[in-house]
Chain A
Amino acid sequence: MSLLEIRNLTVEFRTASGLFRAVDSVDVTVENGDLLAIVGESGSGKSVSMLAVMGLLPWTANITADKMEFDGHDLRSLSAKARRQIVGKDISMIFQEPMSSLNPCFNVGYQIKETLRIHMGMGRRERHTRAVELMTQVGIPDPEKRLSAFPHQMSGGMSQRVMIAMALACKPKLLIADEPTTALDVTIQAQILDLLTDLQETTDMALILITHDMGVVAETVDRVMVQYAGQRVEEQMVDKLFANPHHPYTTALLAALPERAQSRHLPTIPGVVPGQFDRPQGCLFSPRCQFADARCKSQPPGRAGQELGSVLCHYPLVDGAPLNKEAS
């Protein structure tokens, strides 16, 4: 049994101008101790699918799935109360903006200890000991004193460490990190990523890293899922993905990495992710794809086998060249 298993998850938002599909039949499988990255640019629905798992979407969201199980619990049928006993304990999440994710009115100690009290029922002294231990674990100097600090007295990197300490408080089986380093500067980014991977190794929890940064992915995770316009377009182990990306979108993302640039100008992907009103008929990536033909623009592609990274494309790329193209 997988730790997290999601089949055919679709999330639609009810908006004033009709339904907007943010996540489109996505499958996610995470085993104990897995290290998975979900990659995609803004608007590709990477956060939304994970917020759906956490039950943090607003009431305007319609969530449907064939299967949505965490650690044996069916998240679709779980009552709000039963779900709250899992969320924050066995699955926890950290967010993009550490500075605004901590409550400015309460000191750090209160915010960490609150989780310990609610989920673990620890006594006052026990909570304090555990909080100090957690602060030490995430590398905060002078933890005893820092517990009484307020969020505005800390830097972004420190705040993110506190968020991580809070998320680890109840020894979760799964940690979802939603662009944890986007708001931080580069040196701090590396420190936080190192911290996350170290913690993942030492505690044996699974980690899902949501990011738009392929550079981060390369150094951090084992497995990568590429999401585009709410769809899972490709999934491979990280080394294979970097060596031989099968989806034109993945290829384009990798080509846009400064480290991999071959000319003086950094390649970019023209256009933006389709929104509510400009959703293409066929393949969602076709308007921006350099390999797209008439078939791509009119028919939605089927999914390829695992040997091709379960890619969602009419002409999966193999070693940079589209497959089956001549045949059609």
Chain B
Amino acid sequence: MLLFLLRRLSTFLPTFLGVTVVSFAFVRLLPGDPILLLAGERGVSPERYAQLLAKFGFDQPLWRQYIEYLGGVLSGDFGVSFSTKRPVLDEFFTLFPATLELSITAMILAVALGIPAGVIAAVNRGKLFDQALMTTALIGYSMPIFWWALLLIITFSSGLGWTPVSGRISLMFFFDDVTGFMLIDSLLSGQKGAFASAVSHLILPTIVLATIPLAVIARQTRSAMLEVLGEDYVRTARAKGLSPARVNGIHALRNAMIPVITVIGLSVGTLLAGAILTETIFSWPGIGKWMVDSIFRRDYQAVQGGLMLIAAIVMIVNLIVDLLYGFINPKIRKG
């Protein structure tokens, strides 16, 4: 097990290094000059421009900038945002709980609906439920997210008035950040209605963000289950006189979980990418929206730092997924 972990970690570091190169290069490939954007409409004198270039280190050759930046990153310093003058790491972790909260609720929704739906579809292969579910999943998967979000807002927020249009909580409530998670903080504040307000703000963004992972998980569960249901050990389980719920839900599903948790792990990347659109549409104050704003401001430090941190999170989640394989199917631990 330890060896397995070490082997996985040894691929982790080069990948992370690659990510730093890509994110560093990416922001510099963006057209637009950060100093001109910073100066605004009034412009800047050539002397002042040169001075600012030197101040931010942009007069150095690229490789040198990269080395210095990498040195900073490895010692935990992700630089300071041009636009807010606050350390990138602080900015990120102030906003991250909002994204995390939304991602977690979306993932819970996707897993809690997707896995049972896939199992039921596989067991009832070819029947009406299966066909209806797979068609729905395909629609969910191929639908443009922003359009789906707008459709929900028009129907449930402007039309029926059931849910708020944007934000994390109604403006009537104000309390201190304790955990950064609105659901928990609103409960801790003890203010009447605060929790309900937080929940109502979460509903639509959660549905929107969960749509694609839900479709992917349901389809993957179905196909993995179909494969497993033909296996000898499933016949053995039935020959033991076990109930269909035990046969399908325990003996078959556990074996089918390997590809399913793989897509769950990969969905974390999709979720964080999806968060950028979803947060922008719902004005959700998370890192997705922050990244978009930073890109528009050509805030090099913020964009590259954000990219790197998101990449690191996705990589860590997938590392955890790899470790989970061994727990689900002990046969894999050997390999």
Contact = CB atoms under 8 A, between A and B. Distances in A.
A228 B57 CA distance: 87
A101 interface: yes
A65 interface: no
- Contact size class for B? 20 to 34
B241 A95 contact: no
B2 interface: no
A89 B232 contact: no
A86 interface: yes
Contacts of B240: 87-88, 92, 114-115, 118, 166
A290 to B, nearest CB: 38
Contacts of B331: 104, 150, 152
A93 interface: yes
B64 interface: no
Given A103-B251, A150-B331, A86 B241 contact: yes
B83 interface: no
A236 B104 CA distance: 68
A105 B241 contact: no
Interface in B100-143: none
A58 to B, nearest CB: 9
Contacts, number: 72
B76 interface: no
B328 interface: yes
Contacts of B334: 152
Nearest to B229: A58
Given A152-B330, A152-B331, A102 B241 contact: no
A84 B243 contact: yes
A83 B236 CA distance: 15
B324 to A, nearest CB: 13
A85 B241 CA distance: 6
Given A103-B255, A105-B328, A118 B233 contact: no
B248 to A, nearest CB: 13
A188 B232 CA distance: 21
A152 to B, nearest CB: 4
B330 A150 contact: yes
A105 B254 contact: yes
Given A100-B231, A105-B255, A92 B328 contact: no
A103 B241 contact: no
A54 B235 CA distance: 11
B242 interface: yes
Interface in A41-57: 54, 56
B236 to A, nearest CB: 5
Contacts of B51: none
Contacts of A54: 239
Nearest to B238: A56
Contacts of B236: 95, 101-103, 163, 166
A7 interface: no
Interface in B219-273: 231-233, 235-243, 246, 251, 254-255
A90 to B, nearest CB: 9
A177 to B, nearest CB: 12
B239 A102 contact: no
A171 interface: no
B15 interface: no
B94 interface: no
B334 to A, nearest CB: 8
B329 interface: yes
A118 B330 contact: no
A97 interface: yes
Interface of B: 231-233, 235-243, 246, 251, 254-255, 328-331, 334
Interface of A: 54, 56, 83-89, 92-93, 95, 97, 100-107, 114-115, 118-119, 150, 152, 163, 166
- Give 7 closest A-B pairs by Cβ, nearest first: A88-B241, A88-B240, A103-B233, A100-B232, A87-B241, A84-B241, A105-B254
